[in-house]
Amino acid sequence: MDFAGIYADSKDKVWKLVSRYVLVREDREDLFQEIYLSVHRALPRFRGESSIHTWIYKITVNTAINYAKKQSRYKWIKKMLGGLRTIEEEVQDIATDIQTFKPLEKLNPWQRMVLLLSDVEEKKLEEIAEILKIPIGTVKSNLHRAREIIKKEVKKNGEL
Amino acid sequence: MGNYEDYINRLKGAKAELDGGKMYSRIEIKIAGRARRNRLLMGGALGLLLIGSVIYFNVRPYLSGGSETLADYVFQQNEMNGDQILNYVFMD
């Protein structure tokens, strides 16, 4: 399958995950493009050992986690510098679903991804462990912690 | 748990529009940009290699004390001074 075909076939699924994982519109678009650049770069090395969808999923998830880690470093630098707009302020600019996405901000990149894959995308824990290349015990502990944090946030913010 | 489930359902239902065509154009531009950058880097590396090898092969004989130029050769063979070398090289 060529790159254009892969893009047409997978873009909606990738966007769905990206748009829940990253809160700011510009960052979503940036990450989305970054994912397909990685796909384009890795395509000649794709040997068809797994399905193309699983392969793209792995690239999406790993690129997203790396992106979020980078973003949290920038956030810290922005806070250090002060006076500049923080991510929270940028999130305020999103007209829709602010309240829905805001509790996700409290999770670290791994917790957020595990929660989305497990509870929103409804993937099995074994599958998540394989995609993220981490032990299943780590998936469980991340998921448990993520759920606790979200429950606390939902309770704190009242009815969403 | 009720609140948590409601929250997850809201997450599942949350919509974000994707302009697939616009995104594809941007990705294509970035792919072309990176290919151009890679070509430039490759060209630069080859250029540096070429310049480096020219300098290396021209300077090395002097560093190792060899007698690679005509003047050096004449001087070493005949034990002439500078003026004598010039006369020898440019004599009719």
**Domain-located, residue B45:** yes
Residue type for A97, please? D
Indicate the SS3 state at residue B79.
Answer: coil
**Domain-located, residue B3:** no
**Domain-located, residue B7:** no
Do A123 and A49 belong to one domain? no
CA distances to A18, A19, A34, A117, A123 from A31, in Å: 7, 10, 5, 17, 22
Q: Evaluate if residue A115 carries a pLDDT over 90.
A: yes
Do A8 and A80 belong to one domain? yes
Query: Could you give the number of structural domains in chain A?
Result: 2
pLDDT at A139: 95
Distance from CA of B45 to the nearest CA of A (A): 21
Instruction: Determine the residue of chain A that is closest to B33 in CA distance.
Output: A37
Q: Evaluate if residue B58 carries a pLDDT over 50.
A: yes
Question: Percentage of chain B with pLDDT > 70?
Answer: 72
Q: Evaluate if residue A26 carries a pLDDT over 50.
A: yes
Do A63 and A6 belong to one domain? yes
**Domain-located, residue B43:** yes
Domain with B55, as residue range(s), is 15-90
Kindly give, in sequence order, each residue whose CB lies less than 8 Å from that of residue A1, ignoring residues fewer than 6 positions away: A9, A52
pLDDT at B29: 93
- A72 versus A46: the higher-pLDDT residue is A46
Q: How far apart are CA A47 and CA A45, in angstroms?
A: 6
Distance from CA of B12 to the nearest CA of A (A): 6
Q: Which of A16, A26, A56 to mutate to test the interface with B (most CBs of B within 10 A)?
A: A16
Distance from CA of A125 to the nearest CA of B (A): 17
Distance from CA of A85 to the nearest CA of B (A): 23
Q: What is the ipTM of this complex?
A: 0.75
**Domain-located, residue B2:** no
- B50 versus A82: the higher-pLDDT residue is B50
Please report, to the nearest 10 degrees, the dihedral formed by the alpha carbons of residues A124, A125, A126, A132 taken in order. Answer: 110
Q: Evaluate if residue B69 carries a pLDDT over 80.
A: no
Region A99-128: mean pLDDT is 90
Q: Evaluate if residue B2 carries a pLDDT over 80.
A: no
pLDDT at A95: 42
Kindly report the CATH number assigned to the domain that includes residue A159: 1.10.10.10
Do A100 and A67 belong to one domain? no
Query: Could you give the number of structural domains in chain B?
Result: 1
Average pLDDT, chain A: 85
Average pLDDT, chain B: 80
Least confident of A94-98, A138-142, B10-14, B44-48: A94-98
**Domain-located, residue B10:** no
Q: Which of B6, B16, B27 sits opposite A37 (nearest CB)?
A: B27
Do A110 and A89 belong to one domain? no
Between CA A93 and CA A20, with CA A30 as vertex, the angle to 5 degrees is 60
Is B12 in the A-facing interface, judged by CB distances under 8 Å? yes
Per-residue pLDDT of B12-49, as tens digits, reads 887 778 888 888 999 999 999 989 999 999 999 999 99
pTM comes to 0.70
- Residue carrying structure tokens 């806070």: A79
Q: Which of B4, B14, B20 sits opposite A20 (nearest CB)?
A: B14
**Domain-located, residue B9:** no
Do A107 and A53 belong to one domain? no
Q: Evaluate if residue A67 carries a pLDDT over 60.
A: yes
pLDDT at A92: 52
Do A119 and A89 belong to one domain? no
Residue where a domain terminates, one of A35, A59, A93: A93
Per-residue pLDDT of A27-42, as tens digits, reads 889 999 999 999 999 9
Sign of the dihedral through C-alpha A132, A138, A140, A146: negative
Q: Which of A151, A155, A160 sits opposite B10 (nearest CB)?
A: A160
